[in-house]
Amino acid sequence: MQSTKFNPWEMALEQLDSVARKMKLNPNVHAILRHPKKSLIVSIPVRMDNGSVRVFTGYRVQHNISRGPGKGGIRYHPDVTLDGVKAMAMWMTWKCAIVNIPFGGAKGGIVCKPEEMSSDELERLTRRYTSEIILMIGPERDIPAPDVNTNQQIMAWIMDTYSIDKGYSVPGVVTGKPLSIGGSLGRNEATARGCVYTLMSAVKYLGLDLHRQRVVVQGYGNVGWNSAKLLFEQGCKIIGVSDVEGGIYNSDGLDPYKVYEHSRKTGSVVNYKEAENLTNQELLTLNCDILMPAAIETQITKSNARRIKAKVLLEAANGPTTPEADKILEDKGIFVIPDILANAGGVTVSYFEWVQGMQAYFWSEREINLKLRDIMQKAFDNVYRLSRKKKVTMRTAAYILAVSRVADAHLTRGLYP
C-alpha cells in the first residue's frame, strides 16, 4: 500500500482548483485557500534505549482556521512528508465544513517507524514533539487527534506534556484520549460508524438492500476493522479484507471478528485459514458491491481504476482516489462517497469530545451515536441533493458545499489589515 508515486498536495490543489472553476469562486479567496496558514517543521532529538540520540523530523500544518480552531490527527509513519501533511490539513478543512462543525483543518506527523521503537522511546518522541509544537496547539488554537500509528496513549502523553507546561489539566488540547482523562464514549468507532451511516443513506437513494451487499475493505486498522464489524452486524457479507502485508478473500464471506483475532495473534490478516491470500491490488479489483479503501492515500489510480468492479466506492481513507481515477470511475458509473464526507465521523465525535471536555459534562454513548447519525445523514443529504441539482459527482458536490462555507467565512470576516 504505497503512495510515493503521487504528490498528495498537488492532488489536493487540483481538486480545489477544479471545483473553484466550476463554482466561479472569488479569485482572492481561491488564492488564500491554496496556501496553508501556517506550516511548522521541527527537529526532534530523542534518546534511544541504547543511549544513542536520534533526530526525527516532525510537522504541524494549519491549513485554515477561519471557521474555528485547527483540527487534525498526528501520524507516525516513515512516509510522512510536508506535502502529505499539507494535503491532509486541507482535506480536514473541507471535512469540518461538510459536517458544519466549528473547526478548521490541521494535521501533523513524524517521520519514524513506530513498530521498531519501544514504548519508552515513543513516549520520549511524543513528549519532545509536543514541546516543539506547543505554541501552535491548544483547545482554542489547534486540537490534535490520533491518526495512522497513533492512539489513545499517545494522545494522553500529548495532553500531559501540554498540561504540565500550563500548570493545570487541559483535557481539551487533544481528542481521542482514554476515557479516564476526559475521552469520549464512541470515539474509537466514530470514523467507521460515520462511514456506515453515509452508506446507509446511499443505499436508500440507490435503491439497494444493505443486507445483501458484498463488501471489500482495504486496510484492517481501526477504521477498516470497525467498519467491517459494523457492516457485518448489518447483514453485509465481508468477502475480502487486507492490511499492509496483503489481503484475503472468501466469496462465501468472512467473520471479521475471527479475522481480527487472527490478525492480533499473527500480526496480519494474511494466511487466515478460511480464505485465500491475494495482493492489495488484487483485492481492490475484486467483484463486489461495496469497496472501502481504509488504508492510506492514492490507492486507486488511473492504472487500476478501470478494473474496479464495485457499485459503490466508500472512501474511509483520506485521498484514496486520484483525480485521473475519479474521471474513470465516473465514466464507469460507480457511485463514490468521497472521503471528506464518508470519514467525517471521526472529527465529528472529536468535536463532541472537545465540547464535553470544555464543559466538563459528558454524554452517554447512545446520545453520541444518535447525534453522529443525525449529522452524517444530514451532511450526506445536503451533498446528494446538491449533486443532483448541479448534475455533478458526489465529490464535486461535496467540495462545492465545503469550499462555499469556508469562502463565506473568509468574506464575512474580511482581510486584516
Label residue 33 by pLDDT band (50, 70, 90): very high
* 3 pLDDT higher than 70: no
In the numeric block, the cell 486540537 is attached to 143
CATH code: domain of residue 262 = 3.40.50.720
Label residue 170 by pLDDT band (50, 70, 90): very high
> Does residue 160 sit in the same domain as residue 63?
yes
Give tens-digit pLDDT for 283-304.
Answer: 999 999 999 999 877 889 999 9
- How far apart CA 141 and CA 123 sit, in angstroms, is 23
- Give the HSE-up count for residue 343: Cα atoms under 13 Å, Cβ half-sphere: 28
Tally of domains in the chain: 2
Question: Could you tell me if residue 395 is inside a domain?
Answer: no
302, 277, 402: which is closest to 344 by C-alpha?
402
> Does residue 194 sit in the same domain as residue 160?
no
CB atoms within 10 A of CB 134: 15
- How far apart CA 212 and CA 194 sit, in angstroms, is 20
What local confidence, expressed as pLDDT, does residue 295 receive? 87
What local confidence, expressed as pLDDT, does residue 5 receive? 62
Last residue of a domain, one of 342, 359, 394: 342
Terminal Cα-to-Cα distance of the chain (whole angstroms): 46
What local confidence, expressed as pLDDT, does residue 1 receive? 46
What local confidence, expressed as pLDDT, does residue 2 receive? 44
Domain containing residue 258: 190-342
Last residue of a domain, one of 131, 160, 180: 180
Question: Could you tell me if residue 379 is inside a domain?
Answer: no
Give tens-digit pLDDT for 231-288.
Answer: 999 999 999 999 989 999 999 999 999 999 999 999 999 999 999 999 988 999 999 9
**What's the chain's average pLDDT?**
94
Residue 302 bears catalytic tag: no
- How far apart CA 110 and CA 341 sit, in angstroms, is 26
- Selected catalytic residue, list 71, 86, 95, 107: 107
Mean pLDDT, residues 9-14: 93
